[in-house]
Chain A
């Protein structure tokens, strides 16, 4: 492709500035009356669509218990080794449960593989993208921070089922 040669010299009109400034200001003025694309974060929050992959969360069933059976598949598949699961035994029908479930949000790369591999639909990518820490230990999310009531995750579940 022929490259257009850049002019080294400015023309007379460009050199007197006034014309160029008026051009620029009029563009600004025009845009002031057009609809806005930016938002005033953090006063205003972006609510992502269901397809968004925010931090992974664990599904808490209607009964208030986790769906996770601590199979360890998410931990195995996670390319960033972000997940640590320690299984334990319960008297529930599904005899295995996560005694400990920790995701290191500094390791997580939000790929969603954990969600994809989970046989129990127990781990989902949420809409939470606000992850800032000032010490490493704060980035370790245990069950207390990971468990989210299923009612808040309905649209993600619907979105995923659309692909299965």
Chain B
């Protein structure tokens, strides 16, 4: 392999790589604004200027191809001088109002002003002003003053979202970003520009001004919006999810995620209609009861039905662990009527990230046993059975069958028993006799399988009544660490909800089938022992970036 020397360190590189990429692959960061690993090189910010021996002038590391034997200095007097000059130049018309700016704390310009600039400006003239608060599209707000014209957003739209919507107009210090006439920045991936914008010029309208980055904790987990399973971080303050950002995983989503996942997959967690504590229907109305009472009631009711009168509906929204124990529970009652509801929308799919299967775990649910047993009823059969009153009891987890099949509404009322695990009240819970409050994906440990057959981990980010940020390994902000019960900013709502697998385990115990699991990890270990597709996997192997299972995957998941 060819080699080059950066600041006295010899590194290897692949033929054709640029200096900046070669350096990055070896853990050396050369300062940059406009360069982005996944975008084309534009070379306009000039902050990556480095000195290369035997070259007459400084060269930009982002567009200079590395050559064997090259000797590069990133911190020589000349290189530093150039970098300082570029910083001073970039800051000439920059408003320097970080206190007001929403990017403060995660701003590259702010960081570099500390680390790569002399901290003084010789510019005494009045700064020029551009348009502020320009909505570029439904989700993105633009502030012309703060823009440093790096063109990352333009290149993102052209190259990744494949929907050219943005462009530069004007020249010199008047240059600014606009959408093409008649266009809006409304591609399904538009919010990624707010992540790659190195400054506060492009901000997320859904999150602007909600919180300072340093007041939140970032928690690694998986998006629930479709079967891609983009790797994400949930940003939490005071036990509330405030925003989602993508997390790099080259196997799944690279640096990106779609706007649907970013905007629509977390608001239910802190919504008004969360189920808080188990509910039993008493004299027609739902009443909150103790867990014990709900378990006992559900167990004694379930015993009243023969195995052919009960049906079970698992959930592609629930984890492997949840579905596995649920399937086991169904078979312990002798029932073979078990299936789950598919949620697909072919118009959602594109050839970038989005998949037509709108659930995070349908492959996994099926693999751990959510499929009809021999001679058992599938979903269609169950629905028919309910209509024909052959099915008298239905046990449904983490789904809304009435929303999926509105015609079922009138029949559900006729069921003798309807047990539901739900995170939020929905159309189906209206008819439930027992509701167990299910923890949301942000409140539990577990695993999901994406469309590639990749097993990925969910980790808790929001605490419930029974969990604790520190003990359950959630990341902690300063506010989390020091808040007390007397501080308003540490009293965010906590719901009395549990992971579905925990509820099932407790219910099994009441019914006399001893199930001894204390952690989701223990359930997963049993899955990996008993189901061949998952053999060899455990939570450590899966880690933060997931691991391939042996599941056969078909790119298309057909609607049942």
The interface of chain A, by Cβ under 8 A from chain B, is: 69-73, 75-76, 81, 84, 87-89, 94-96, 102, 104, 119-120, 136, 140
Q: How far is the CB of B306 from chain A (nearest CB, A)?
A: 57
- Cross-chain contact of A84 among B208, B210, B488 (Cβ < 8 A): B488
For B215, the chain A residues whose CB sits under 8 A away are 72, 75-76
In the complex, the answer to whether A69 meets B100 with C-beta atoms within 8 Å is yes
Q: How far is the CB of B343 from chain A (nearest CB, A)?
A: 35
For A136, the chain B residues whose CB sits under 8 A away are 486
Measured between alpha carbons, how far is A39 from B43 in the docked complex, in Å? 72
For B168, the chain A residues whose CB sits under 8 A away are none
Q: How many CB-defined contacts (below 8 Å) exist between A and B?
A: 46
In chain B between 474 and 528, which residues have their CB closer than 8 angstroms to a CB of chain A? Answer: 478-479, 482-483, 486-489
Q: How far is the CB of B382 from chain A (nearest CB, A)?
A: 48
Q: List 5 A-B contacts (CB under 8 A).
A: A69-B99, A71-B98, A76-B214, A96-B102, A119-B99
- Cross-chain contact of A89 among B97, B98, B209, B486 (Cβ < 8 A): B209
Measured between alpha carbons, how far is A58 from B212 in the docked complex, in Å? 20
Q: How far is the CB of B213 from chain A (nearest CB, A)?
A: 10
- In the complex where A84-B488, A104-B487, A120-B99 touch, is A72 in contact with B209 (Cβ < 8 A)? no
Q: How far is the CB of B322 from chain A (nearest CB, A)?
A: 36
Q: How far is the CB of B488 from chain A (nearest CB, A)?
A: 7
In chain B between 196 and 236, which residues have their CB closer than 8 angstroms to a CB of chain A? Answer: 208-212, 214-215
B80 adjacent to chain A (CB < 8 Å): no
B132 adjacent to chain A (CB < 8 Å): yes
For A140, the chain B residues whose CB sits under 8 A away are 488
- In the complex where A71-B99, A72-B215, A81-B479 touch, is A96 in contact with B209 (Cβ < 8 A)? yes
Contacts A73-B99, A76-B215 supplied; 12 other A-B pairs, CB < 8 Å? A69-B99, A69-B100, A71-B104, A76-B214, A81-B487, A84-B488, A87-B210, A88-B209, A96-B99, A96-B100, A96-B102, A96-B209
B133 adjacent to chain A (CB < 8 Å): yes
Q: Which 5 pairs of residues, A with B, have the shortest CB-CB distance?
A: A71-B99, A72-B212, A87-B209, A96-B100, A119-B99
For A88, the chain B residues whose CB sits under 8 A away are 209
- Cross-chain contact of B489 among A70, A84, A94, A119 (Cβ < 8 A): A84
- Cross-chain contact of B133 among A69, A95, A102 (Cβ < 8 A): A95
Q: How far is the CB of A88 from chain B (nearest CB, A)?
A: 6
In the complex, the answer to whether A95 meets B99 with C-beta atoms within 8 Å is no
- In the complex where A72-B215, A84-B488 touch, is A89 in contact with B100 (Cβ < 8 A)? no
Q: How far is the CB of A89 from chain B (nearest CB, A)?
A: 5
The interface of chain B, by Cβ under 8 A from chain A, is: 97-100, 102, 104, 132-133, 208-212, 214-215, 478-479, 482-483, 486-489
Closest to B99 in A: A71
For B489, the chain A residues whose CB sits under 8 A away are 84
Q: How far is the CB of B128 from chain A (nearest CB, A)?
A: 16
Q: How far is the CB of A73 from chain B (nearest CB, A)?
A: 7
Closest to B132 in A: A95
Closest to A122 in B: B99
- In the complex where A71-B100, A81-B479, A96-B100 touch, is A102 in contact with B488 (Cβ < 8 A)? yes
For B479, the chain A residues whose CB sits under 8 A away are 81
For A104, the chain B residues whose CB sits under 8 A away are 487
- In the complex where A76-B214, A95-B132, A104-B487 touch, is A81 in contact with B99 (Cβ < 8 A)? no
For A94, the chain B residues whose CB sits under 8 A away are 97, 100
Measured between alpha carbons, how far is A94 from B488 in the docked complex, in Å? 27
Closest to A71 in B: B99
In the complex, the answer to whether A89 meets B99 with C-beta atoms within 8 Å is no
Measured between alpha carbons, how far is A95 from B145 in the docked complex, in Å? 13
Measured between alpha carbons, how far is A136 from B102 in the docked complex, in Å? 32
For B210, the chain A residues whose CB sits under 8 A away are 87
Q: How far is the CB of B202 from chain A (nearest CB, A)?
A: 15
Q: How far is the CB of B82 from chain A (nearest CB, A)?
A: 30
In the complex, the answer to whether A89 meets B208 with C-beta atoms within 8 Å is yes
Measured between alpha carbons, how far is A145 from B515 in the docked complex, in Å? 57
Measured between alpha carbons, how far is A76 from B213 in the docked complex, in Å? 11
Q: How far is the CB of B101 from chain A (nearest CB, A)?
A: 8
Closest to A136 in B: B486
Measured between alpha carbons, how far is A81 from B487 in the docked complex, in Å? 9
Q: How far is the CB of A16 from chain B (nearest CB, A)?
A: 61
Measured between alpha carbons, how far is A95 from B489 in the docked complex, in Å? 24
For A96, the chain B residues whose CB sits under 8 A away are 99-100, 102, 209
For A73, the chain B residues whose CB sits under 8 A away are 99
For A87, the chain B residues whose CB sits under 8 A away are 209-212
For B478, the chain A residues whose CB sits under 8 A away are 81
In the complex, the answer to whether A95 meets B100 with C-beta atoms within 8 Å is yes
Measured between alpha carbons, how far is A104 from B466 in the docked complex, in Å? 28
Measured between alpha carbons, how far is A78 from B172 in the docked complex, in Å? 43
Measured between alpha carbons, how far is A74 from B209 in the docked complex, in Å? 16
Measured between alpha carbons, how far is A122 from B99 in the docked complex, in Å? 12
Q: How far is the CB of B331 from chain A (nearest CB, A)?
A: 51
Q: How far is the CB of A61 from chain B (nearest CB, A)?
A: 16
Q: How far is the CB of B105 from chain A (nearest CB, A)?
A: 9
Measured between alpha carbons, how far is A69 from B215 in the docked complex, in Å? 17
Measured between alpha carbons, how far is A84 from B99 in the docked complex, in Å? 16
Measured between alpha carbons, how far is A124 from B211 in the docked complex, in Å? 23
Measured between alpha carbons, how far is A136 from B486 in the docked complex, in Å? 8
For B483, the chain A residues whose CB sits under 8 A away are 81
Q: How far is the CB of B217 from chain A (nearest CB, A)?
A: 15
Measured between alpha carbons, how far is A116 from B379 in the docked complex, in Å? 66
Closest to B215 in A: A72
In the complex, the answer to whether A81 meets B488 with C-beta atoms within 8 Å is no
Closest to A80 in B: B482
For B488, the chain A residues whose CB sits under 8 A away are 84, 102, 140
Measured between alpha carbons, how far is A120 from B99 in the docked complex, in Å? 9
For B133, the chain A residues whose CB sits under 8 A away are 95
Measured between alpha carbons, how far is A19 from B374 in the docked complex, in Å? 114
Closest to A70 in B: B209
Measured between alpha carbons, how far is A122 from B56 in the docked complex, in Å? 52
For A84, the chain B residues whose CB sits under 8 A away are 487-489
Closest to A88 in B: B209
For B482, the chain A residues whose CB sits under 8 A away are 81
Measured between alpha carbons, how far is A75 from B212 in the docked complex, in Å? 10
Q: How far is the CB of A162 from chain B (nearest CB, A)?
A: 23
Closest to A102 in B: B488
Measured between alpha carbons, how far is A81 from B489 in the docked complex, in Å? 10
Measured between alpha carbons, how far is A155 from B99 in the docked complex, in Å? 25
Measured between alpha carbons, how far is A102 from B212 in the docked complex, in Å? 16
Q: How far is the CB of A86 from chain B (nearest CB, A)?
A: 8
Q: How far is the CB of B209 from chain A (nearest CB, A)?
A: 4
